[in-house]
Amino acid sequence: MLGLPRVGKFSSRENLEVDINRDQTETGSTQFTRDPVEHALLEARNLIDSALLEFRSLPAPRFVQLSADRRQEATGATLTDLVARARRTVLISLSGRSGQLAAVRTVLGDLETRTRTGPGRITVRVLGSASALRELSAGSGAAELAELRVTGRPLAESLVRDVAEALVHAPGDSTGGLLVRDRAAVRVLASLFMGAWDASLPWRDHLLLDAYLTTDTAREVLARLYAGSTDAVAARELGLSLRTYRRHVARILESLGVGSRFSGGTRAAEMQMFDVL
């Protein structure tokens, strides 16, 4: 066999080397190789690169269910990622759960650092109960960085970034939450947030009102507003003049941003500002 001439035919290795050189010349590649193993690896790398490019071109899933395992860590990591990509607005509603409060406190700290060192300012709005906001603000600069408002209505946990993405977690849901990328759904979530926001009380006003409500007289006035008592009856029961009673009522209604006496009492009760008798 060794003495026979090879006419018009190469060995399998030579055939492969010719094919390699021809393919690389046709494609304009400058990486020539005469090693079949290296050629196979290059082909595998090309396939991986093509698959990666195709994967990156696919649209992101519109709804992603987060795992319930290690819920706190997963939620915190997702919140951090969303806030890191925010450019204009961050809308946060608090449920009062300690794990969410800790995660939100962390991302607000990151935003504060980013605001000091980076260009532009991001509008951050946080909505929650008085107790949730009080816990969030304790030992942090949340009140300086974000706009805070108090509501007495129960809220689902949510964070909306730039009306583009949202992370939501409904009360009683045992899963790790839902990452929403569907633009129409995110716009609905943002609209619901802003509706609740417009009906809420600014945090600074709440603090002023809350300090005023520590007085026995103010609490008694609020209780009678909630009960629907007339001014004359309520003033007589409290031993106040009608004018003095009405001054208390006017101050409360103005602080609460409502126009009627009954609405004032209801609003204060919803916001858990006092124990309704």
What are the pLDDT digits (tens) for 199-211? 888 888 778 777 7
Q: Provide mean pLDDT across the span 56-85.
A: 71
DSSP state of 66: P
Q: φ and ψ at 215, to 5 degrees?
A: -80, 145
- CB neighbour list of residue 31: distance below 8 Å, 6 or more residues apart: 24, 42
Query: How do residues 149-165 score in pLDDT, each as one tens digit?
Result: 988 777 889 999 999 99
Query: How do residues 104-117 score in pLDDT, each as one tens digit?
Result: 988 888 888 777 66
- Model confidence pTM above 0.75: no
CB-based burial label for 248 (10 Å; 0-12, 13-18, 19+)? buried
Sign of the C-alpha dihedral computed for residues 202, 207, 211 and 216 taken in this order: positive
On average, the pLDDT of the chain sits at 76
Q: φ and ψ at 29, to 5 degrees?
A: -70, 145
At 72, is the pLDDT very low, low, confident or very high (cuts 50, 70, 90)? low
Query: How do residues 251-273 score in pLDDT, each as one tens digit?
Result: 877 766 677 777 776 776 666 56
Name all domains of the chain by residue range, CATH numbers in brackets.
Answer: 12-57 (no CATH), 63-201 (3.30.870.10), 213-270 (1.10.10.10)
